[in-house]
Amino acid sequence: MGYLALGTFGVVAVIALVYAQIRSRKLLSKDWQTLVSSIEPMHMRGLELVALDHLNPEKNQLRLEPDEIWGLIGGSEGLRRMEHNADLMIALAAYVRNWNYDQSIIVAERIRHDSLLLKRAVRRIRWGARLRSGRLRIPFYAHQAAASYYLMTKRLLALYETNQYLLYPVLAEAL
């Protein structure tokens, strides 16, 4: 019985890895314009307020209420868009390798790490909402998701501003 569970877990893990690999290869094979045009718009001012509330704590750390946080990040649609855009930002950072290989690899890895934090927070929000047991933690995960997405956009924009200033304005407008 234990071997069956272990074998099933192994097969599911391999399928997930293959799926992730195929998906990332598909993204890396797209041209720059296609990647940028695939970015879904976010309400960045609201997202920035939530992210900075998390990243730069002040004396009054209970400034934003949970409903306010949820509205500022765009609710479940905002979470879906953040997740979608996260993969695109990794591919856009990797695209800079054409001009500055070393820096693009480092920044892409940082963005990938932020993406993992974002996706983990989104997954926990979804499970908490489904199970109704983790509802108290949802605002904390929303803060984490917003902060991760905010850092990803800042890292990507700084990378393009430094290495490809001609493409920077188009990317900044899309994000």
Residue in 140, 10, 8 with CA at minimum distance from that of residue 69: 140
pLDDT digits (tens, 9 = 90+) for 63-98: 788 888 889 999 889 999 999 999 999 888 888 887
The predicted structure's pLDDT at residue 116: 94
Cα three-residue angle 143-32-122, rounded to 5 degrees: 20
- In the chain, where are the structural domains located? 1-30, 31-174
| pTM exceeds cut of 0.75 | yes
Select the more confidently predicted residue: 2 or 6: 2
Select the more confidently predicted residue: 12 or 112: 112
The tokens of 49 are what? 């307020």
The tokens of 89 are what? 């930002």
CA 104 to chain CA centroid, Å, is 17
The predicted structure's pLDDT at residue 29: 60
